[in-house]
Amino acid sequence: MPPVVSPILAPVHTSSRDDAVLNALADFVTGAGLKPGDRLPTERVLAEHFKVSRTTVREALTRWQELGLVERRQGSGTYLKAAVTRNMLHLPLTLPSGNDFNSLMHTLEIRRGLEAEAAVLCAERASDADIAFIEQKLIRMEEVFHERSGMSADEDWDFHLAVFRTSGNPLFEQIIAAMYEMFHRFWEHPLGVRDFGHASFPYHRTLFNAIAERDPLGARAEALKLIATVEDDLKRGNANLKKQTKKSKE
Amino acid sequence: MPPVVSPILAPVHTSSRDDAVLNALADFVTGAGLKPGDRLPTERVLAEHFKVSRTTVREALTRWQELGLVERRQGSGTYLKAAVTRNMLHLPLTLPSGNDFNSLMHTLEIRRGLEAEAAVLCAERASDADIAFIEQKLIRMEEVFHERSGMSADEDWDFHLAVFRTSGNPLFEQIIAAMYEMFHRFWEHPLGVRDFGHASFPYHRTLFNAIAERDPLGARAEALKLIATVEDDLKRGNANLKKQTKKSKE
DNA sequence: ATTGGCACAATGGTCCAACCAATTTAGGTG
DNA sequence: CACCTAAATTGGTTGGACCATTGTGCCAAT
């Protein structure tokens, strides 16, 4: 089985100033024990400390920003967004994204495979503390649901995120988040589907129960039911859309 | 469920300068019909044309470079490395310290979820022509296997690729290929495992048979068995590695 | 005419110094 | 104490300059 892109040239190419800066910065981050959310030194400080120009520091930080490792806020500072080590492996992946029904369905197919697997691993590996944390997110989501009589995007995502992270595999979060963004980029206002996501509500608790009982197969089943409701919503939205365009033609 | 990264603001308030530059540049690339390998205008020309400073252009190009869309050669120019369209999703995958056993295992967990799902969809959707094509790849792989008494990377990948493509979802191919690349970047010479991949051989045919019979569940089962053999190989390699380091300590 | 080397131009990489824009902070005012 | 305002802080942008590498084309020697 072959490497898709030549993997052998990359390491040779490792010269250039910003690479050195990035390595030094990675060492600093690990050395200072900085964690996600913490603030990095200012660009001016880094520039002076590394004996390079601020431009070079900025170029290096831009690269980290593009990889999602860091977030910059004008007037505030640069903040760590993910754990950073010197020997990280980066693989940028560009995906074609369409706004047609099929493309949206494709993102759900990926999520179906990954969310089910993540649920399995989560149920297998969750500690008591993990389960308590997930339950906390679940309860919060349920509260907001009853307040507004509808799904809340943020709280719902927090719950799923807790599940993904408990799986112990950071790739789940990264890939599913991308699928998620792809989906919502063209589905911000679900056409004709007022209660989008509503049907998925009960399966959050059943999923949690399966995880809490360390039942991988059960967790898998509930995760699949959950994603199936989203697929249904999408299909309904697509049907509505067709109906509307048909009407407008008449 | 919420956008992880705000998907709604990005297109609207194009505030950051370099985003605007990248969009304009993407339009230019598609407009001019540039293909991978072609040279882009120089930074100075772009800066003047877009009415921004060269620094801003450089920052934008740095981002594309980090995503692998572009390659810069000092003294020569900036060259397109991949097809670029305006609305594509960039997914930078990051593994913390990608050369340890756990990280390699993470890539296999993703593959487990996706390859199983792809096998299901493939079995559901394969036309007769698709199945004939897959069988052709299978036979070719088996031939090479018997010639060399071992798995051949290229032919094996061709077979899997045929399966992924038949699933009708291009995301499978790209994401799994990325997992592949990540895996092999640090596993080019499987430590102490001479017959790496050997055990997976028989499951290629059983997988094909299930697909040919339009048996989604069967295809899923065989795909899982196949990936399980790879996981075994990895575990064996890890065990060997531990043994060696233990010996070297003595 | 071919080949080799050399100077020059083009291009990305780095640096500097200043200013702009958003944010935070500190102080003052009610 | 709460609120507002002004100053300091910080990332974002600009222009110009120079360095390092590469590509090009001319010219001389063979």
Question: pLDDT tens for residues B12-54?
Answer: 334 678 889 999 999 999 999 999 999 999 999 999 999 999 9
Asked whether residue A8 carries a pLDDT value surpassing 50, the answer given is: no
Contact A113 B109 (CB under 8 A): no
Average pLDDT over residues B182-198: 71
B197 part of contact set with chain A, CB < 8 Å: yes
- How close are the terminal C-alpha atoms of chain B, in Å? 54
Of the two residues A101 and B220, the one the predictor is more confident about is: B220
Residue pair A211/A123 in contact by the 8 Å Cβ criterion: yes
Average per-residue pLDDT for chain B:
87
Tell me the DSSP string of B41-73.
PPHHHHHHHHTS-HHHHHHHHHHHHHTTSEEEE
List, chain by chain, residues whose CB lies under 7 Å from nucleic acid strand C.
Answer: A 16-18, 52-56, 59, 73-76; B 40, 42-44, 54-55, 58, 61, 72-78
Nearest-CA distance from A12 to chain B in Å? 13
Q: Which amino acid is at A111?
A: R
Asked whether residue B2 carries a pLDDT value surpassing 70, the answer given is: no
Separation CA B137–CA A247 (nearest Å): 47
Average pLDDT over residues A33-46: 95
Instruction: Give tens-digit pLDDT for A215-248.
Output: 999 999 999 999 999 999 888 877 777 666 666 6
Tell me the DSSP string of chain A.
---SS--SHHHHT--SHHHHHHHHHHHHHHHHT--TTPBPPPHHHHHHHHTS-HHHHHHHHHHHHHTTSEEEETTTEEEE-S---TT-EEEEEEEE---SHHHHHHHHHHHHHHHHHHHHHHHHH--HHHHHHHHHHHHHHHHHHHHHTS--HHHHHHHHHHHHHHTT-HHHHHHHHHHHHHHHHT-SS-TT-TTTTGGGHHHHHHHHHHHHTT-HHHHHHHHHHHHHHHHHHHHHHHHHHHHHHHHHH-
Sequence-separated (6 or more) residues with CB below 8 Å from residue A159: A134, A137, A138, A140, A141, A204
Report pLDDT for A238: 75
| A64 beta carbon to strand D: under 7 Å | no
B9 part of contact set with chain A, CB < 8 Å: no
Residue of chain A minimizing CA distance to B4: A177
A199 part of contact set with chain B, CB < 8 Å: no
Report pLDDT for B204: 97
In this structure, are strands B88-95 and A89-96 parallel, antiparallel, or unpaired?
Answer: antiparallel
Nearest-CA distance from A114 to chain B in Å? 5
What the block records as the tokens of B7 is: 């998907």
| Burial of A109: CB neighbours in 10 Å, binned 0-12, 13-18, 19+ | buried
CA A170 to centroid of chain Cα atoms: 9
For residue A146, the cross-strand partners are none
Nearest-CA distance from A246 to chain B in Å? 27
Confidence of residue A191 (pLDDT cuts 50, 70, 90): low
Average pLDDT over residues A57-65: 96
Q: Which nucleotides of D are covered by protein (CB under 7 A)?
A: 8-17, 20-23
The count of CB pairs under 8 A between chains A and B is 209
List the A73 CA – C23 C1' distance (angstroms).
8
| A75 beta carbon to strand D: under 7 Å | yes
Residue of chain A minimizing CA distance to B180: A3
**Chain B contacts in chain A segment 128-147 (CB below 8 A):** none
Average pLDDT over residues A132-155: 91
Asked whether residue B160 carries a pLDDT value surpassing 90, the answer given is: yes
Contact B109 A117 (CB under 8 A): yes
Instruction: Give tens-digit pLDDT for B84-124.
Output: 988 888 899 998 876 788 888 999 999 999 999 999 999 99
Contact B93 A171 (CB under 8 A): yes
Contact B4 A180 (CB under 8 A): yes
Nearest-CA distance from A171 to chain B in Å? 7
* Torsion angle defined by CA atoms of residues B23, B27, B30 and B36, in that order, rounded to the nearest 10 degrees: -40
B186 part of contact set with chain A, CB < 8 Å: yes
Instruction: Give tens-digit pLDDT for A64-105.
Output: 999 999 999 999 999 999 999 988 888 888 888 877 888 889
Helix (H, G, I), strand (E, B) or coil at B231: helix
List the B146 CA – C27 C1' distance (angstroms).
83
Q: B92: which chain A residues are within 8 Å (Cβ-Cβ)? A: 66-68, 90-93
Report pLDDT for B128: 96
Q: Give the predicted TM-score (pTM) of the model.
A: 0.86
* Torsion angle defined by CA atoms of residues A4, A115, B127 and B218, in that order, rounded to the nearest 10 degrees: 110
Separation CA B224–CA B220 (nearest Å): 6
Cα–Cα distance list, A184 to A32, A116, A201, A218, B3 (Å): 37, 20, 18, 28, 7
Separation CA B90–CA B197 (nearest Å): 31
Q: B85: which chain A residues are within 8 Å (Cβ-Cβ)? A: 96
Report pLDDT for B131: 97
Asked whether residue B185 carries a pLDDT value surpassing 90, the answer given is: no
User: Is the sign of the CA dihedral A171, A1, A11, B55 positive or negative?
Assistant: negative
The residue behind tokens 């199945």 is B131
Residue percentage of chain A with pLDDT more than 90 = 66
Separation CA A213–CA B197 (nearest Å): 35
